[in-house]
Amino acid sequence: MSIKIGDKLPDVTFMSVGPDGPAPKSTSDIFGGRRIALFALPGAFTPTCSAKHLPGFMERADDLRAKNIDAIACVSVNDVFVMQAWAEHKQTGSTIEMLADGNGDFTRAIGLVLDGTGFGMGERSQRYSMIVDNGKVEALHVEDGGEFKVSSADYMLENL
């Protein structure tokens, strides 16, 4: 069963890309006391993720902050070093907090696993976006397989 609006996020530990290198961060460290625009994608450096999903949130960051969003975070079932390399490649700086769900613990706990084994990718995250207010899901937009519509920054802004 997947997470839904009104649910509290599960307590898991991500690896986060920060100015001092990789560091563990708990769900409460990231989402506690803040309103976060979170988006998830199947993989760093993959075509739609690199060309549209991440850049869209970078381009619309100021617009999201104007709508009382404290921070923007990206989660993927990749290891922290891949997320760090992708952040450097895409020059996310402090605009996007890159969260590595390397073992897929968060993705499984919220029930949004994508089976990518047919493509040699293993278990990944479905593509989605959500607004999380102090650890509680305020809005959730999960894509149908292979689509990129409702998880975009533009769609999020239209529905805030």
Closest C-alpha among 127, 113, 104 to residue 46: 127
Distance between CA 150 and CA 7 in Å, rounded?
Answer: 20
Distance between CA 68 and CA 49 in Å, rounded?
Answer: 25
Catalytic annotation, residues: 49
The answer to whether 21 and 155 have CB atoms below 8 angstroms apart is no
The answer to whether 148 and 56 have CB atoms below 8 angstroms apart is no
The 10 Å Cβ neighbour count of residue 160 is 15
Position of tokens 């760090």?
84
Element (H, E) at 21: strand 21-26
